[in-house]
Amino acid sequence: MQVGFVGLGAMGAGIVPRLLNAGHRVTGWNRSAEKAAPLLKAGMNWAGTPRAVAEQSEIVFSIVTDAPAVRAVALGKDGILSGLRANGIYLDMSTIAPDASRAISTEFAKAGRTMLDAPISGSPVTLAQGKASIMVGGDRAAFERAKPALLDIAARATYIGESGLAAQMKLAVNLLLMVEVIAFGEAIALAEKGGVEREIAVDAVLNSVAASPVLGYRGPFILEGKMPTVPLADVNLQQKDMFLVLELARKLGTPAFLATAANEMMNACRGLGLDRHDFVIAHEAYRRLGGQSR
């Protein structure tokens, strides 16, 4: 297929090679063009605007930081909507509020075009392992048309329901992920304070019934010298997701006690100057708050 990709950050840079390796012709765009250099060497074509990407594509993906960024690339001057073909499909993979996704989708519908919310669940690590998953909301027939390309990116592509529901489901998944990783940090800090060596504590958790895929690749980051220089998702990025979760919970009138606790731990990490690290650094925040030496 002719596939467009807008947003070539950590996840986009991992998705495009998978599409290329599957035989798709990929045209990409990114706000900072230098990030595209490795992908151009791998065979991706470059377009000067999101509109130009859409004009050359049957389906167009985007994955950017937040809702204003999605609106800019989708609806802005020379945005995706202005170039999307009549039978084209736009799939936004960003993590944004359901209402924001629905509002953008409505603009596409008014113009006779199709947008799906298609957030991806995973990290650059799980993406490279072929273990990421994609949730999709919107027109079911459009989902079925795009599904082959989705399965070239991820192990699973699941139709969630109407527009915005995949974005909502992604927030629910990220809530669970946040709480799990933060609870891991709390557990290891507790074990350490009581005299268990960190390496032994981490090994014990990762070989227990509490082990999970996210802890399997993120847990070892807290060992000496293992924290990645470039975080998979830093404290600030993850807290952005918690803000979205808490606002969604407010609108729906449902309690989100653990999301509130997770958000407070991200505040603690920021207050301790740890915000540029992967959010598994919550473990270090627990250690410091518990009086353990650095």
Based on the residue annotation, tell me whether 240 is a catalytic residue of this protein.
no
Q: One of 77, 147, 170, 240 is an active-site residue; which one?
A: 170
Q: Which two tokens stand for residue 86?
A: 């009549």
CATH code (residue 241)? 1.10.1040.10
The structural domain count of the chain equals 2
Res 115: pLDDT: 98
Please tell me the predicted confidence (pLDDT) of residue 172.
97
Is the backbone of residue 133 left (phi > 0), alpha (psi -120 to 50) or beta? beta
pLDDT digits (tens, 9 = 90+) for 39-80: 999 999 999 999 999 999 999 999 999 999 999 999 999 999
Tokens matching residue 139: 């027109």
Q: What is the pLDDT of residues 119-153, one digit of tens each?
A: 999 989 999 999 999 999 999 999 999 999 999 99
> DSSP labels for 237-292?
HHHHHHHHHHHHHHHHT---HHHHHHHHHHHHHHHTT-TTSBGGGHHHHHHHHTT-
For residue 214, give the amino acid letter. V
Last residue of a domain, one of 107, 128, 162: 162
Among 123, 143, 162, the domain boundary falls at 162
Q: Are residues 8 and 136 in the same domain?
A: yes
Tell whether 232 and 248 lie within a shared domain.
yes
Are residues 9 and 88 located together in one domain of the fold? yes
Domain CATH number, residue 52: 3.40.50.720
Q: Do 245 and 266 meet the contact criterion of CB atoms below 8 Å apart? A: no
Q: What is the band of 256 on the pLDDT scale with cuts at 50, 70, 90? A: very high
pLDDT greater than 90 at residue 236: yes
263 and 202 fall within a common domain: yes
Q: Are residues 77 and 155 in the same domain?
A: yes
**Contact assessment for residue 134 and residue 128, using Cβ atoms and an 8 Å cutoff:** no
Give the span between the Cα atoms of 193 and 153, in whole angstroms: 42
Amino acid at 17: P
Q: What is the pLDDT of residue 294?
A: 59
Q: 294 lies in a domain? A: no
What residues contact 279, with CB distance under 8 A and at least 6 apart?
178, 181, 182, 231, 233, 234, 235, 237, 238, 266, 269
pTM: 0.94
- Where residue 20 falls (left for φ over 0; alpha for ψ -120 to 50; beta otherwise) is alpha
Residue 21 and residue 150 share a domain? yes
pLDDT at 35: 87
Residue 240 lies in a domain: yes
On the 0-12 / 13-18 / 19+ scale of CB atoms within 10 A, 258 is middle
Nearest alpha carbon to residue 6 among 41, 43, 52:
52
Residue 272 belongs to domain spanning: 169-289
pLDDT tens digits along 153-183? 999 999 999 999 999 999 999 999 999 999 9
First-to-final CA distance of the chain? 52
